[in-house]
Amino acid sequence: MTSLQSSSIQKIKLLLQLEEEEATDDYAQGELLLELHRQSRIRPRSCWIRSWICRRNEQGHFNQLMRELEAEDQEAFANYLRISPAMFSELEQRLHGRLEKQDTFFREALSPALKLAVTLRHLATGDSYKTLMYSFRVADNTISLIVREVCSAIIEEFSDELVRCPTSPQEWKTVAQGFEDRWNAPHTIGALDGKHIAIRCPADSGSIFYNYKGFYSLVMMALVDAQYRFLWIDVGAEGSTSDAQLFNSCELRQRLESDTLGVPPPEPLPNDDENTPYYIVADEAFPLRTWLMKPYARTAMAREERVFNYRLSRARRVVENAFGILANRFQCLLSTLRQTPATVRLIVQACVCLHNLMRSRYPSIQNPALDMEDAEHNLVPGSWRGEQTLADIRQPTRGRPITQAAQAQRNYIKAYYNSPAGSVPWQESKI
C-alpha cells in the first residue's frame, strides 16, 4: 500500500467518524474537523532519503577526505577538526558506547565516529548545518540532533574527570603551588573572568539576552588554574545581566563567602611570618574581597601599586589566555550561534571539556597560541591575540564596594611584593 492510499483511507475513516458524531457535542465534531484538515495538508513523501545523501560512504568528507588526511597529512587533519588524530581516536573510543545506535529495517545507523566528526567540524568552524550537510552528506535536521547528542556525551563522559573545582585544602594548595611556581603568585587559587557568547535572539525573549555591547548573548564565567585549565564554569546567564549581578548570584561566590569550598586557612606567604588568606585574582569588574584580589585603580598610582598590578596581571593573564585559545580553537564561539540557549550551553560546556582534555594530554596542540615570556620576562603575545576573541563582561562602573579587611590585605600583599621577601628581580623594569 502506497503512502497516498494510506492517507486516503485515513481521510475516509475520519469522515465516517464525523458522521457518527453528529448527535454528540460540538467539541467532538470540532476536534474531528481539525484532524481532517490536518490530514488534508499532509503531503506524502516523494522519497525517503535523497539519492546524493545515499552516496555518503563513497563521496562524503568523513569516508574520503578525512581518511586521506589521516593517512597522508596529519597536520591538515588537525587543522580540519582542530584536534590531532590521536585525540580524535581517544574521543571515538570513549564515546562509542554513548553514541552507537542500532540499524533499522529502513536505514543503517550513522557511526559514532561520523557523528563525532560532524560535531567537531561544527565546533571548529561554526559552519551552518546546511554547509555540513553538503560536506558530510548527512541531512541538516539530523545534524541538529547529532550536535546535541555528541555534546551531551562529551559532557557526561569527561566533565567529572576534567572540569572539576577543588573541594579540599590539599587540592587548592596544589593549584596555588602551580601559580607560585609558574607566575610567582603565592596563595593564588585561580584566575576569574567572564565573556559573552553571541547568540541569535531567542524567540519571544524580548531584550533579556541583549547586552550593553549591542548584541544578544549568553554569559560564561570561569575560574582557571595556572596550566590554563578550567576549574569551574557557569554558562547560561542572559546577556543583559550585569557582571555584578552575575557574580553575586553564582555558586562560586556563595561558597567562598560561606567558607564551604574547602579553601585552606590563612598561612604565611613564602619567607614571611604573617598569615595571609588564599585568594582568587580578577580584574576591575569584580569586588575586592579577602578571597578575591583585583588591581589598584590606574589613576595616580604609586610605584608600589604599579608593582602590585604587574605581579597580579602575570597571574590573571592565564584566564585571558584560556578564553583566547578556547575561542580560537573552537571558532563556533566566535560566530553568532543560532541554536537555542539550552543547546548553546551544551556546546560551550563540551568545548571546555575538549579544551581541558587538550591541556591535560595533548598540550602541544595549543602551546603555540599561548602567551610566553622571554629570558628577560618580556611578554611574547600568543597567536590568539592576533585573532578575534570573545567580548568581556566588564561594564562601565563607578567602582565596587571594598571591605576594610580586603583593602588591608591588598596593601599587605603590595608591601610583600615590594619587599626582599616577595619581590622578583625583574619587576622594577616592567612598570
In this structure, the answer to whether residues 370 and 270 fall within a common structural domain is yes
**The total number of residues written for the chain in this structure:** 431
d(CA 33, CA 24): 14
Residue 280 lies in a domain: yes
| pLDDT at residue 245, rounded to an integer | 79
pLDDT digits (tens, 9 = 90+) for 317-342: 999 999 999 999 999 999 999 999 99
In this structure, the answer to whether residues 183 and 146 fall within a common structural domain is no
Residue 55 lies in a domain: no
Residues 6+ apart with CB under 8 A from 408: none
d(CA 111, CA 102): 10
The maximal CA–CA distance of the chain, rounded, in angstroms, is: 98
What spatial distance separates the first Cα and last Cα of the chain, rounded to whole Å? 83
Residue 121 lies in a domain: yes
In this structure, the answer to whether residues 147 and 296 fall within a common structural domain is no
Q: Which residues in the chain show pLDDT less than 70?
A: 1-48, 395-401
Q: How many domains does the chain have?
A: 2
User: Measured at the alpha carbon of residue 246, what is the angle toward residues 243 and 250, in degrees to the nearest 5?
Assistant: 140
User: Are the C-beta atoms of residues 343 and 155 closer than 8 Å to each other?
Assistant: no
Residue 45 lies in a domain: no
In this structure, the answer to whether residues 110 and 179 fall within a common structural domain is no
Residue 71 lies in a domain: yes
| pLDDT at residue 24, rounded to an integer | 52
In this structure, the answer to whether residues 391 and 409 fall within a common structural domain is yes
User: Measured at the alpha carbon of residue 176, what is the angle toward residues 367 and 219, in degrees to the nearest 5?
Assistant: 65
| pLDDT at residue 370, rounded to an integer | 79
| pLDDT at residue 11, rounded to an integer | 55
In this structure, the answer to whether residues 114 and 254 fall within a common structural domain is no
User: Are the C-beta atoms of residues 214 and 165 closer than 8 Å to each other?
Assistant: no
Residue 190 lies in a domain: yes
In this structure, the answer to whether residues 137 and 95 fall within a common structural domain is yes
User: Are the C-beta atoms of residues 362 and 86 closer than 8 Å to each other?
Assistant: yes
d(CA 337, CA 329): 16
| pLDDT at residue 50, rounded to an integer | 80
Residue 13 lies in a domain: no
Of the residues 137, 161, 185, which one is the last residue of a structural domain? Answer: 161
In this structure, the answer to whether residues 314 and 248 fall within a common structural domain is yes
Of the residues 101, 131, 161, which one is the last residue of a structural domain? Answer: 161
In this structure, the answer to whether residues 153 and 181 fall within a common structural domain is no
In this structure, the answer to whether residues 268 and 252 fall within a common structural domain is yes
Q: What is the extent of the structural domain holding 137?
A: 61-161
Of the residues 128, 161, 194, which one is the last residue of a structural domain? Answer: 161
Q: Could you give the 3-state DSSP secondary structure of residue 103?
A: coil
d(CA 244, CA 381): 30
User: Measured at the alpha carbon of residue 181, what is the angle toward residues 178 and 184, in degrees to the nearest 5?
Assistant: 110
Q: 63: number of CA atoms within 13 Å, CB side?
A: 14
Q: Could you give the 3-state DSSP secondary structure of residue 27?
A: helix
Report which secondary-structure segment, H or E, holds 166: none
In this structure, the answer to whether residues 141 and 181 fall within a common structural domain is no
Cell 597567536 -> residue: 383
| pLDDT at residue 53, rounded to an integer | 86
User: Are the C-beta atoms of residues 270 and 417 closer than 8 Å to each other?
Assistant: no
Residue 14 lies in a domain: no
In this structure, the answer to whether residues 225 and 292 fall within a common structural domain is yes
User: Looking at this protein, which amino acid is placed at residue 59?
Assistant: Q
Q: Could you give the 3-state DSSP secondary structure of residue 188?
A: strand
